[in-house]
Amino acid sequence: MGKDVIKDETPIIFLAMFWGGGGPYTISQVIHVYDWINRDIPSREDLEVAFNTLLSLDFISLKDDKFTIQRKIGNDFDEFRKKKRINKFKTARLYFEQYPLPTDIPNVISISQERYAEEYAKYSKAFES
């Protein structure tokens, strides 16, 4: 599609939240589900852009520092996913192509490098034993 389509990690972060049950998730839990489905760790910038984009599209909500996929969007994506029956990453990107990138994405959540390090440490601690 056109240049205004979301091309960053936003669809994959959304997909991770969806596959993990939709939330509510803390930042460290989003890092966990992203790693679970993508075998990678999202950067601080990717998380910040994704959360702000998803909030501006009203795909997720933020309450008490936790992110949750809106029920209507989750159901809509689930129907879309079942019809496509293709690779989950491609499906997520195709789903997002239906929505133009918002022209003005408010900075509702800002993740400092320090906070990202703390959230990453929480994620990493879950695997210590």
pLDDT (tens digit per residue) in 11-57: 999 999 999 999 999 999 999 999 999 999 999 999 999 999 999 99
User: Percent of the chain having pLDDT more than 70?
Assistant: 92
Integer Cα distance of 27 and 70 in angstroms? 17
Residue 28 Cα distances to 43, 78, 94, 115, angstroms = 12, 24, 27, 10
For the chain, first and last CA: distance in Å?
46
Dump pLDDT digits (tens) for 68-90.
999 999 999 999 999 988 899 99
Query: Residue 9 phi/psi, 5° resolution?
Result: -85, 0
pLDDT(7) > 50: yes
Q: Quick one: three-class SS letters along 36-64? A: HHHCCCCCHHHHHHHHHHHHHCCCEEEEC
